[in-house]
Chains A and B, each alone.
Chain A
Amino acid sequence: MTGLLTVEDVSVRYGSLAALAGVDLCVHDGQRHALIGPNGAGKTTLLNVIGGSRKPQHGRVIFEGRDVGRLGPAARARRGINRIHQRPAVFATLTATENVVVAALPRLTPRRRWWPGGRRRIAQHRAGPLLDQMGLTDVATVPAGHLAHGQRRQLEIAMALAGRPRLLLLDEPAAGLSAVEVGRLVELLQALPRAVAVLLVEHRLDLVYALSDTVTVLRDGRTLAAGTPDEIRTSPLVRQAYADGVA
């Protein structure tokens, strides 16, 4: 079985601080892969490297068998790597539907992207079902800037899915959500199609264990351990790391 995404020996330095020091990672088709680790372990930096917004000083990122190291975030998104940000990033003055339409456009064929009247069809056939799935149908015509935090998070997931991702990068999707919203988020993520692989960065271990089938533990910019949730849960090494690094 070949990996969908392979990260080889990636290093990132901020001045004298090594955020990532030779990290290897492999995400397979349809895998639910979680990245955990104490604060400052380099989780978000690794997502940035995979997403293309941070260029590593060393190492390779291979996606679907091709080295994407030279591509920026936009080009990677067009190849199927989509990203959910720590702070929900939506287009504030656009309506929820428009947000999803904008996100859907790049993966369409050029003809369909610019076909006259196609925008309404995209809105109906692509955005409508996604908003429905996220429970956002009622607010479809509301500017995204007016949505509540939880709704914006859901909207961002809808946008990511509209881009027909092969790999979804989730950066602390539960941050700032209420308990009810977190429950709904877990349902949403569990219901994602198996064609979409997920790489999840999350502090809350209960979510990690509920959502993932593989867990990689980062610490001080290195891979500390990797395995199934059960293996990680019982690993003394990981307990030790968390006792040191996380409240």
Chain B
Amino acid sequence: MRDEVIRRARGAVAALALAGLVVAPWVVDDYTTAILARTLALALVGVSVALLTGVAGMPTLGQTAPYAAGAYACAVVGSQISDVGVVQLAVAAVAGAVLAALTVPLVVHARGVIVLMITLAIGELAVTVLGRWRSVTGGTDGLAGIAAVRPFWGLPVLANDQDRYLYALVVVTVLVGAVLLLLRTRAGLLLRAGRDDETRLRASGHRVPLYLSGAHIAAGAIAGAAGSLLVVAQQYISPADFGFDTSALLLLGVVIGGTASIGGALVGAALVIAVRDWLFGVLPGHAPLVLGVLFVATVYLLPTGVHRARGRWGLPSEPADQPDASPERDQATVPELHR
């Protein structure tokens, strides 16, 4: 009964927020609209981070890699093949998924802090490649002058902030809706089960690495699609857009929003990015200080919001049996890795 009420309330809040986002461009100024469009792209990457960190239990700092792959693929397609948004979106998603698939062997067996460091390395390597592959990426100065996009064949190009924002909003809404639907299927059930207790899931006969690979590729596709949105929102991309600070802020945003909840992650990531961008405009020179204080304050304001980060979190030596552990200990399934 109470659950039903909460569910309804949540639905109502979500609907209200969506309605607010739809009318936003007519209420706020161009700057806010432009920033919101860009933030939507990053929030979508946040969703992919949450899918891996919270739902699949693989905390990641590397989603900037498929994000960048999608963005550059979209830019190349946009300048040489097609200015149709749907085409660019599909190409970007495929590029992100392919890159994620290539990195699957690196991440799928690792857990906890180890995944974090491997994905960090992947992200850094991706940025290095982007900076050096000048013929395609334009090097460290980035690619400017990317042609405007038309959402669908026959539609006009997106020429102003409102159009670009609404396009981004539609894409993000559709993709997030798809993710939420996906999580309600057996695939989502299995991912949540794996996060709760991976050893148990294996003991039931499930091919956990296969599921994690699938989640990783799906998250890569989402991040890739987000890359295409960044191109639309910003009409410029450079390796700096995909650096470590982006991935760190996204992970922290997802943590603030509650890693296990896609909606929370969306809001959290959007909030962190929006506040960062806003601070650099209004408090020149003091943005990092204020941002840092806000992060610290967030931990105290939302102490329980971040407590749910569990599952495969914790040191990786824990679930694997250690030679020096007592014979009786090594069968412990350790559902929660608080040491």
Contacts and interface: CB of A to CB of B under 8 A. Distances in A.
Interface stretch (B29-37, B63-71, B182-190, B285-293): B182-190
A107 B207 CA distance: 12
A142 to B, nearest CB: 11
Interface stretch (B230-238, B276-284, B329-337): B329-337
Nearest to B324: A15
Contacts of A15: 323-324
Contact of A73 (B203, B260, B330): B203
Interface residues of A, number: 47
A91 B193 contact: yes
Given A44-B327, A74-B202, A74-B206, A85 B333 contact: yes
Interface residues of B, number: 32
A75 B209 CA distance: 12
Nearest to B209: A74
B321 A159 contact: no
A72 interface: yes
Nearest to A145: B196
Contact of B331 (A17, A42, A85, A103): A85
Contacts of A82: 203-205
Interface in A32-74: 39-40, 42, 44-45, 47-48, 51, 53-54, 72-74
Contacts of A94: 189, 192-193, 196
27 contacts: A14-B325, A15-B324, A40-B328, A47-B331, A48-B330, A54-B330, A74-B207, A77-B203, A82-B203, A85-B200, A85-B203, A87-B332, A89-B197, A89-B199, A89-B200, A89-B203, A89-B333, A91-B196, A91-B201, A93-B260, A94-B193, A98-B189, A102-B189, A102-B190, A102-B193, A114-B186, A171-B331
Interface of B: 185-186, 189-190, 192-193, 195-197, 199-208, 260, 321, 323-328, 330-333, 335
